[in-house]
Amino acid sequence: MIEPRKWLPLSPLSTGLACKCPRCGKGSLFTGSLDVRDACSHCELDLTPHDTGDGATVFVVLILGALTVILAFWLETALEPPVWVHLLVWIPVISILSVVMLRPFKGILIGLHYKNLRHKYEPDNGD
Ligand SMILES: [Zn+2]
């Protein structure tokens, strides 16, 4: 009988920030911009139960919203610019940062989901 391979646990933070597979850390996690692969191209881990859907969006909205409000208040009190300056600064900042932050946050959530529930999907993997 062939023994199933044991995978060493990897940090969900490091694999998520790199957008790599939470089990092997080598295969890519996404096919497109935010579409999770069905399986890892390196270790063939089934990624469909670990797709977090829109879960990362909540964290990005909360973190980016709080950061933007704090910086907007600071800009208003420090320089007292007209309203159009706020629109000119914050609309591009929010748009760009929300797109940039979504992939790594989704990767981290998938890594955390895999780390905490892998015994459910891979009972032979130890732990
Ligand atoms: Zn993998």
Condensed to tens digits (0 to 9), the pLDDT of residues 87-99 reads 999 999 999 999 9
In the reported structure, the alpha carbon of residue 47 is separated from the centroid of ligand 1 by a whole-number distance in angstroms of 9
pTM for the predicted model, two decimal places: 0.82
Could you give the CA distance from residue 58 to residue 65 in angstroms, rounded to a whole number? 10
CB-CB neighbours of 74 under 10 Å:
10
For residue 30, pLDDT over 70 is answered with: yes
Give the separation between CA 96 and CA 21, rounded to whole angstroms. 25
Locate the domains of the chain by residue range.
12-120
Other C-beta atoms lying within 10 Å of the C-beta of residue 110: 25
Ligand 1 center–CA 117 separation, angstroms: 16
Query: φ and ψ at 44, to 5 degrees?
Result: 60, 30
Q: Kindly give the distance from the C-alpha atom of residue 28 to the centroid of ligand 1, in angstroms, as a whole number.
A: 8
CB atoms within 10 A of CB 63: 14
